[in-house]
Amino acid sequence: MTKGREVNGRYSYQATLAAAQKVNWQIEDIIGGDKRLDFSKPFMPESLARVEGMDFLNADEKRTLNQIRGNAYLSIFGLVEEFILPFVMDHARPQLQGDDYRVRALLQFASEEAKHIHLFKRFREEFERGFDQACAVIGPPEAIAKEVLGHDPLAVALTILHIEWMTQRHYLDSVKDDRQLDPQFKSLLKHHWMEEAQHAKLDTLMVEALAEGRSQEEIEKAVGEYIEIGGFLDGGLKQQMEFDLDAFERATGRKLTASEREKFVEVQTQANRWTYLGTGMTHPNFLATLEQLQPSARERVEQIAPVFC
Ligand SMILES: [Fe+2]
Ligand SMILES: [Fe+2]
């Protein structure tokens, strides 16, 4: 079997591999040399940063918080890609003979994630060079990977599918953003989006392969584990929000009052939830895959999604 057959009628390994090979950018195209972060501009689309509604902050403070959120974004994507990489390799490994397009498409996927990990690290180096204060981030990546990868592979594949579709949405939001985002950060979101478009398709195929032959009870249990992983990540995001608050106060020299702090926590907890959980859980293509697995799985996720929006 060497043909990249249409696996689910929509996506095929052959077409995905061909698309990936066309995209294939280099890190140097995006950051380094004269491509520097411009700290006079925001990094994150407002739909994700949600700083504008915090009317007790002035324009400089809003931009600083936006940039701190940008740094956390780089770190959180680094974290999640560190569990995606071994997972995709483990999924490819048992079937290295057989469908040549499948093997090549999955190895290309893994190689791109390794490149993305590198890309996010390069951006963080640039951030550290240009930002006055050290910004704490959650981790370490190995501990988070160990926790996530300890779950049922179908639950992990659903988590990864959620992340791939979420990345699609992040770039589209940055395009819609009418403010002047830093060009390098925007380019990061764009180039990531270009490769993640293939990953989302391959991940759909991974989910379908892992669900094959499972009983309804087993699928229900795996969806429950996907929700558990979401809960675990939500705990990490809460911690990250506290780190961001601390970095904000140090970077701006502003000590928030109790009521300002309360508002900050409320708005930014929800902003983080939307960025990393809501955007994936409510993505129509993610929901379509859930529905295909089990209509009640879609309903279950739709029921809890408003908490993360
Ligand atoms: Fe990626
Ligand atoms: Fe990806």
Ligand nearest to the CA of residue 188, numbered in listed order:
1
**CA–centroid distance, residue 133 to ligand 2 (Å):** 30
Ligand nearest to the CA of residue 77, numbered in listed order:
1
Q: Who surrounds ion ligand 2 at CB < 5 A?
A: 196, 199
**CA–centroid distance, residue 199 to ligand 2 (Å):** 5
Ligand nearest to the CA of residue 198, numbered in listed order:
2
**CA–centroid distance, residue 267 to ligand 1 (Å):** 27
pLDDT at 178: 63
pLDDT at 9: 67
The tens-digit pLDDT sequence of the chain (309 residues) is 434 444 556 899 999 999 999 998 999 999 999 999 999 999 999 999 999 999 999 999 999 999 999 999 999 999 999 999 999 999 999 999 989 999 999 999 999 999 999 999 999 999 999 999 999 999 999 999 999 999 999 999 999 999 999 999 999 887 877 678 999 999 999 999 999 999 999 999 999 999 999 999 999 999 999 999 999 999 999 999 999 999 999 999 999 999 999 999 999 999 999 999 999 999 999 999 999 999 999 999 999 999 999
- ∠ CA 10-160-17, rounded to 5°: 45
Interatomic CA distance for residues 152 and 218, integer angstroms: 10
SS3 content of the chain, % helix, strand, coil (to 5): 75, 0, 25
User: Does the model's pTM come out above 0.85?
Assistant: yes
**CA–centroid distance, residue 196 to ligand 1 (Å):** 6
Ligand nearest to the CA of residue 78, numbered in listed order:
1
Q: Who surrounds ion ligand 1 at CB < 5 A?
A: 116
Exposure string of 250-268, with b = 16+ CB inside 10 Å and e = fewer, is: ebbeeebeeeeeebbeeeb
Ligand nearest to the CA of residue 115, numbered in listed order:
1
Interatomic CA distance for residues 44 and 66, integer angstroms: 6
Question: In 3D, which of 51, 73, 21, 90 has the Cα closest to residue 270?
Answer: 51
| 3-class DSSP assignment, residue 12 | strand
Q: How many CA within 13 A on the CB side of residue 143?
A: 6
- Work out the burial of residue 176: count CB atoms within 10 Å of its CB; fewer than 13 is exposed, 13-18 middle, 19 or more buried: exposed
**CA–centroid distance, residue 25 to ligand 2 (Å):** 14
**CA–centroid distance, residue 192 to ligand 2 (Å):** 8
CA of 158: how far to CAs of 46, 147, 231, 293, 296, in Å?
Answer: 27, 15, 14, 11, 15
Question: In 3D, which of 209, 254, 207, 231 has the Cα closest to residue 148?
Answer: 231
pLDDT at 300: 98
pLDDT at 6: 47
**CA–centroid distance, residue 80 to ligand 2 (Å):** 9
